[in-house]
Chains A and B, each alone.
Chain A
Amino acid sequence: MDVKYINPFLNATVEVLKTMAFMEARAGKPYLKTNHSAPGDVSAIIGITGHINGSLSLTFSSSCIIKIVDNMLGENFQEINDDIKDAVGELTNMISGVARRRLSEIGFCFKIAIPTVVSGPGHQIKHMSKGPTIAIPFDTTAGSFTVEINFSR
């Protein structure tokens, strides 16, 4: 998978969390994902079609997403509930939207679908294409999350 498809999603992730949740996110070492297991407590996945096809997912630890949504909404959540799940979907929507804009600026046009949110112990993420899935772990002061990018080539 070409890095030019990956970097816009990573930069968008950092930008969206900084702007909407006042949170700094530091990217760790990317790795090739070889199973469907979600590395966290709640995930959202969104389909991407166009120049190439695939999907983007975000998976958050409970502590991380609760702090993010607390910051976004000025509330004090205690657990993953419908509000938190909705926010995970909206964050995924925003991140894919920013990445889509950046990719269009370098000539790659994509459409994005509406995200699906899944949660609970042992939940799985099933990406849209049979191509490779790259996982990028992120760390924040409130915990970790992982971005996965899957493209058909």
Chain B
Amino acid sequence: MSGSLDVKKKVLVVDDFSTMRKIVRNVLKQLGFEDIVEADNGANALAVLRNEKIDLVVTDWNMPQMDGLELLENIRANDMTKNLPVLMVTAEGMKESVIAAVKAGVDNYVVKPFTAETLSEKLEQVFKKRGI
């Protein structure tokens, strides 16, 4: 399923619900990724990014403390992380939300509910675009 993906890359999964972190982790594992770390909100994700070399971020939008959009803006504003690929997985599917995420520099977008196949396709699009 992973084709030519570099599955040794490290992925950060950010969601306040452990259920969604597990679902995303399961899809990443199906794709062959094993080096996966998690955070339960944007602030904790930034702490992970300060301390570990991450190659891809998969983040929810609605989270307490710091939401996914603010996390994305922080990632793009930091020279160390500004080119990091970011995929949003979120219940926010309204047009204005999508526009806001694209303006902030998101690489791709998955609206809940989704199938494992849809998430895989979106991830592979990000990997292809970024040469992962």
Which A residues fall within an 8 A CB radius of B?
15-16, 19-20, 69, 72-74, 83, 86-87, 89-90, 93-94, 96-98, 100-101, 104, 112, 114
Does the CB pair A86–B115 fall under 8 Å? no
The 5 closest A-B pairs by CB, nearest first: A97-B91, A19-B113, A90-B17, A87-B19, A90-B19
- Please indicate the chain A residues that have their CB under 8 angstroms from the CB of B16 in the complex: 114
Which B residues fall within an 8 A CB radius of A?
16-20, 22-23, 26, 62, 64, 90-94, 111-115
Minimum Cβ distance to chain A for residue B19 (Å): 4
Does the CB pair A97–B26 fall under 8 Å? no
- Please indicate the chain B residues that have their CB under 8 angstroms from the CB of A86 in the complex: 17-19
- Please indicate the chain B residues that have their CB under 8 angstroms from the CB of A87 in the complex: 17, 19
A-B pairs with beta carbons under 8 Å apart, 17 shown:
A16-B112, A16-B113, A19-B114, A20-B23, A20-B112, A20-B113, A73-B19, A73-B22, A73-B23, A86-B17, A86-B18, A86-B19, A89-B19, A93-B91, A98-B93, A101-B93, A112-B62
User: How far, in whole Å, are A20 and B90 apart by their CA atoms in the complex?
Assistant: 13
